[in-house]
Amino acid sequence: MHNTLSRTARSVLEVIVKRFIQLAIALTFFFVTEHALAVPLPANPLAATNDRLIVRAQGFQIEFGVSDSMILSVLSRHGYSLIRITKKKLTKARAEACKGGIKYDVEISFDGRIRRANQIGNCRPVINVEIARKILRQKGFRTIQLRAEGNRFVAAACRNNRRFRVVMDQFGGIQGEKVLGRCGGILTQYDVAAMLRARGYSRVRATKTRRGGYSVVACRNDDKIALRVGNDGVILREQRTGRCEPPIHPATIPALLARLGFTRINVIDRQLPRYLAHACRGTQRLEISMNRFGEVMDERSIGRCEPPLNAAGLQAKLKGMGYASVRIVEVRANGFVAEVCEEASLIRLELTTYGETVSQQRLGDCPSRGVGRILQDLESKGLYGATMYVEGCRNRKRVRIALDRSGSIVGRRVIGRCR
């Protein structure tokens, strides 16, 4: 009985959302009809795809649909991985994803709930370190130094007397090979780090020294360790120098990535064994994997980010968002300060260089234009013979009052009744 009521409630909610969308579209075009005057409509006031609807009118843009970031975040939070979005509509979306070795067809509602998950097959089995080592040996690699990094494996290994850096996905597929040098008695900086990680160290930072060998700072459990390692990988000296920072909390990920130079950061997976975020570096949009200590383990390009704005670009963007009387009052190294009007309120905005609002403060009311200025602006747009009218109620009668350019009353008549 309870499940039946829940399904009925969800169905009713979907109908309400669809009706809201239709009402929003109707109100948008009503606004255009009432206020356009001599301003033409855009060439394409409606833009629709399978996953979203965009309505443009009078500088406004309204977008409906389920976002990719919400889908990825919801499924990751429920333990799904290898997520592939297959269909998006205005009020729901579908994706294929893996959980516990099983592949599911999952439907997500517009409010972020998983409506259903149907089993459609099996996912490729995920391998461990030992299987990854066997695969590398089958491909001809020897002297293998291997470690797991997030959802992949990275190895330094020799083949035909050359040393390679090999990246393998969690299913055993080789994603890339890079020649590091020749194999022999001398290890590279990467080899030293891999060797120490295999011995139980973490957060390893190895630096080549002028005297030969490597200077290393690493953590073992909660202890910070300074090591001196020879070219052959032998630990020559080891000393405890303090305590290492504990694992990070997911809430600190945006601040950590910002210190590394990333902007427009969106954390989409806050669950270990790895954290996942989307962020911009310059004009490149990246998917970033981080381990439990906040170290960036992998970066993957997933698209393009818009470049930083100048004052003119920000002014145009704010006007396109529907603000009026936009004025850039301060240009800072890390952003802007602007004053805008929104529904007759004067708002002070602090924004980043990409136009993202950091804070806003109401300063008061926006100054209104005089009747003469309004008529002059309308005439400049080709309207002539215009008269200003004010409508209001007095003694339960609706009265229309005509004004001249100076704002003086030049006519008055009753046009109906007021409730």
pLDDT at 56: 52
Query: Which tokens hold the place of 186?
Result: 């001398």
Q: Would you state the pLDDT for residue 12?
A: 56
Please say whether the beta carbons of 335 and 351 come within 8 A. Answer: yes
pLDDT at 65: 61
Other Cβ atoms within 10 Å of 136 Cβ, number: 22
**Angle ∠(72,74,76) on CA atoms, nearest 5:** 65
Rounded Cα–Cα distance for residues 189 and 216 (Å): 10
Tokens 């994706």 belong to which residue?
Answer: 95
Per-residue confidence (pLDDT) for residue 200, from 0 to 100: 77
Spatial distance between the Cα atoms of 156 and 195, rounded to a whole number of angstroms: 10
Q: How far apart are the C-alpha atoms of 44 and 9, rounded to whole Å?
A: 36
* Continuous segment of H or E residues that includes residue 266: strand 263-269
Cα–Cα distance, 146 to 151 (Å, whole number) = 14
Helix, strand or coil, per DSSP, at residue 252:
helix
Predicted model pTM:
0.41
What sign results for the dihedral spanned by CA atoms 230, 234, 239, 245? Answer: positive
pLDDT at 278 (0 to 100): 92
**DSSP-based three-state secondary structure for 246:** coil
Neighbours of 85 (CB within 10 A): 17
For residues 268 and 275, is the Cβ–Cβ distance under 8 A? no
What local confidence, expressed as pLDDT, does residue 117 receive? 92
Written as one letter, the residue type at 134 is K
Name the residue among 108, 110, 112 with its Cα closest to residue 97.
108
The predicted pLDDT at position 307 comes to 84
With a CB cutoff of 8 Å and minimum separation 6, the contacts of 96 are 83, 84, 86, 103, 104, 105, 106, 120
Per-residue pLDDT at 18: 55
The reported pLDDT for the residue numbered 92 is: 82
pLDDT value of position 13:
58
Task: Quote the DSSP letter at residue 372.
Answer: H
* Measured distance CA(384)–CA(329) in Å, rounded: 35
Place of tokens 């996905």: 169
What CA–CA distance (Å, rounded) separates 168 from 174? 4
Which region, left, alpha or beta, applies to residue 247 given φ > 0 means left and ψ of -120 to 50 means alpha?
Answer: beta
pLDDT at 105: 93
**pLDDT tens for residues 271-329?**
887 899 999 988 888 899 888 888 887 788 888 888 888 888 888 888 888 888 888 98
The DSSP-derived string for 279-325 is EEETTEEEEEEE-TTS-EEEEEEEEE-PPPP-HHHHHHHHHHTT-EE
Q: Compute the half-sphere exposure of residue 323: CA atoms within 13 Å on the CB side of its CA.
A: 21
Distance (Å, whole) CA 131 – CA 150:
16
Output the pLDDT for position 216.
93
Tens of pLDDT along the chain (419 residues) come to 545 545 565 565 565 655 555 555 555 544 444 444 444 444 454 444 444 545 554 554 545 566 777 888 888 888 787 788 888 777 788 898 888 778 899 999 878 889 899 988 877 777 888 899 889 988 888 888 787 776 788 888 888 888 888 888 888 888 888 887 777 666 777 778 877 877 778 888 888 888 888 999 999 888 899 999 887 777 888 999 999 888 888 889 998 998 888 888 889 888 887 899 999 988 888 899 888 888 887 788 888 888 888 888 888 888 888 888 888 988 888 889 999 988 778 889 888 888 878 788 888 888 777 777 777 777 787 877 777 888 888 888 889 888 777 777 888 888 888 87
Buried b (16+ CB within 10 A) or exposed e, 407-416: eeeeeeeeee
User: Rounded to an integer, what distance in angstroms lies between the CA atom of residue 135 and that of residue 139?
Assistant: 6
Task: Assess contact for 300 and 286: CB atoms under 8 A.
Answer: yes
Q: Residue 191 — left, alpha, or beta (φ > 0 → left; ψ -120 to 50 → alpha)?
A: alpha
Helix (H, G, I), strand (E, B) or coil at 33: helix
